[in-house]
Amino acid sequence: MTTALNCIIVDDEYGAIEVLEGYVSKVPWLTLSASFSDPLAALNHLSHRPTDLVFLDINMPDLGGLQLARLIQAQSTAIIFCTAYPQHALASYEVEALDYLLKPIPFERFLRAVNKLKSCLTEPVPEAEKSEPTKQLFVKSGSQIHQIEINDISVIRKDGHYIIFQLPGKELLSRMTFQELLSLLPEDKFIQVHRSYVVALEKIQIIQKQFVQVEGREIPIGDAHKDAFFQKVNYIGN
């Protein structure tokens, strides 16, 4: 029995996503974890969740498919480019893409591409080659995408439509919702303590009933988050 492949789709055209989702559903040994129209959201998903295969568009806003592929090249993730532009085929070999499919993609061509991975599924991955959990987060600020170390983040706060990351010696501002932020953060390292604040657990210095102290700053604990917070940190006291 073939082990199931865990895959995602990254394309800024919803029609193309629907076609690929239909193709994936026809292959019993493919499991679709998620589909993304935002390549940066896909990059952060790939940074924290092991993925066997990515169906990746090339021409996308903010972060192109080739750029995304280079950022995940060190991971053991196979890439199949799905694009309407044949001129990028040569560049796809530079990032060791498994295949390069031109839209509109016939199902038979799609199936031939994914079949290339079948032989790899029966071969166990040596312990030394297994991927370590990624310790980076990719954050868009203005027109730039910043790679930041998860362990460098101490406090994250909401300010209107923006999220502000407190990093060593600086702050990084990004436009996103709190829900989007929480979906990117590893739950074992961060906790929301207030409707406007998330803190890194390992950076907490002092805990009191109404606030936590992180690197000398007092961060309020909101009533709606108290029970979950004190349960997570195993707080004991009066």
Please check whether residue 155 lies inside any domain of the structure.
yes
State the pLDDT at residue 120. 56
119 and 18 in a common domain: yes
Is residue 178 a part of any domain in this protein? yes
Q: Same structural domain for residues 24 and 81?
A: yes
Same domain assignment for residues 41 and 148 = no
Is 179 a member of any domain? yes
| Phi, psi torsion values for 2, nearest 5 degrees | -80, 135
Percent of all residues in the chain with a pLDDT value above 70, rounded to a whole number: 89
Nearest 5 degrees, angle CA 106-CA 2-CA 131? 95
pLDDT at 7: 96
**pTM metric for this prediction:** 0.65
Is residue 28 assigned to a domain? yes
Residue 186 sits in the same domain as residue 210: yes
Range scoring the smallest mean pLDDT among 88-92, 149-153, 211-215: 88-92
Q: Which pLDDT value is given to residue 130? A: 44
Residues 230/231/232/235 CA torsion (nearest 10 deg): 50
Tens-digit pLDDT profile for residues 175-222: 888 888 887 888 888 999 999 999 999 999 999 889 999 999 999 999
Domain contains 150: yes
Could you list the residue range(s) of the whole structural domain that residue 223 is in?
Answer: 138-232
Structure tokens at 54: 């990515």
Say yes or no: 119 and 154 in one domain: no
Looking at the 3D structure of the chain, how many domains does it have? Answer: 2
Chain segment 95-139, per-residue pLDDT in tens: 888 899 999 999 999 998 998 887 655 554 444 444 445 578 888
Q: Is residue 53 part of a domain?
A: yes
